[in-house]
Structure formats: C-alpha cells, structure tokens
Amino acid sequence: MFWVGLVVAFLAGLVGIGLSRNSVMARLSNARDLHLDWVALVLLGIGLAISGYEYLQSEATLQALESRPFYRPLDPELRESLVGQLRGLTTQSRYRRFTIRISVNAGSAPRLEFAQQIASILRDAGFPSSVSVMMIIPSNPPTPLRNISIAPNPNDIEPARAIAESLRGLVHGGIPVISEPERPRGVLRISLNGDPLFSPEGRVRFR
C-alpha cells in the first residue's frame, strides 16, 4: 500500500507539471487547466493519505514489537562479573549451605528463560539452584504480586541480602528481600512474576 500511494502521488505530479497534461487535453476536448489542476490535487492527496496511513501502521507495528519482552542473554562480561561476586560469597562457610529455588509464574517464555539464566549464574558460582514453574491463581480481591523477590527464613535475612546485592547488576532497581517465617533455614526462594524487558546487554527492567 505504501508504494501504491507513492505511484498515485507520482501520477499527480506528472499531471501537475504538464508532462501528461497536453495528451489528456488532446483526448478530452472539454478538459481545462483548472480541471486538471483539481485532478492533480485530488490524486496527490489520495497518494499521500495512502502512504501516510501505511507509514503509521508500520510505526505502530514496530512499537508493538519493541514492547514485547523478547529474551536477551546477559552480556558475557557482565555475567562473569556476577558469577565472580557470588563466588566470593561461597568461599565463606556460612554461605555454602544455601540452596536457592526459583519459582516462576507460568505464562511467559522470556520470564522462564530469565529464571533459567539466574539459576545458571548461581550454579556457576557454587549455589545449588533449581527452577520450577507454578500457575498462580489470582485471589479475590487480587493480591499484587512482586515482579521479583528473594524470600529467606528470618534468621537468614543477612546472607539473603548479600546474595541479592550480588545479583543487583542483573535487575534494574535490585531484588527486594522479604522474610518468610515458615521457610526452612538454608533455603532461599526467588519468586519471578513480572514481565521482563531486556536491555541490549541483557539486564532486566520489569514493566
């Protein structure tokens, strides 16, 4: 449709500058310059309208695609930096006993891939980690879900904060730590519910 609009506008230009004006007037004895000027103006308007509409449609489609949460892996240098920071924690005895379980709200492939990336980084640093997908049924009235959070036992709050701080380079704004009294000691749960948007280097901002 974009090219159709350009062709129509081009024809209007031909009529307007006179390249085809004489031949048209020769064929149509009643045609006058004023008539052809109006025809050129109408054709030009139609052509520009078609091209403009197609352009706006293309822009809307592009914006919709850009807003989709496509997964992007973390930049290798940034990933290695995160692994190094976390590995520094596992050299301390009080961190070696921790297991990290990542719970992912179902319904988003990029969210699951992001969770798997977190687990991979944690495992490379020496933390046993696993990913499980959960279907969260909305409550009535609905309870707001955090985009991402780490839940430790209250007695593990400080180590959990240190791990969250080491992962800060992965998520814009960091990861909040919220204690759960019923959680066993030595087990941290990372909950992932938000829709991640990935920067070019793979860092995540939730929308």
Query: pLDDT tens digits, residue range 23-69?
Result: 544 554 554 554 555 566 666 667 667 766 666 666 655 454 454 56
- Residues forming beta bridges with residue 206, ordered by sequence position: 196
What's the start-to-end Cα distance of the chain, in Å? 34
pLDDT (average), residues 119-128:
95
CA 156 to chain centre: 33
Q: How confident is the model at residue 159 (pLDDT cuts 50, 70, 90)?
A: very high
Read off the amino acid at residue 207.
R
Q: Give tens-digit pLDDT for 184-203.
A: 999 999 999 888 889 888 99
Cβ–Cβ contacts within 10 Å for residue 191, how many?
22
Which helix (H) or strand (E) covers residue 10, if one does? helix 2-17
**Nearest-angstrom CA–CA distance, 140 and 145:** 13
Which helix (H) or strand (E) covers residue 116, if one does? helix 109-125
Most confident of 87-101, 153-167, 191-205: 153-167
- Residue of 104, 159, 148, 100 lying closest to 128 (CA atoms): 100
pTM for the predicted model, two decimal places: 0.65
Q: How confident is the model at residue 93 (pLDDT cuts 50, 70, 90)?
A: confident
Q: Is the pLDDT of residue 171 over 60?
A: yes
Give the pLDDT confidence score for residue 151 in this predicted structure: 94
CA 198 to chain centre: 5
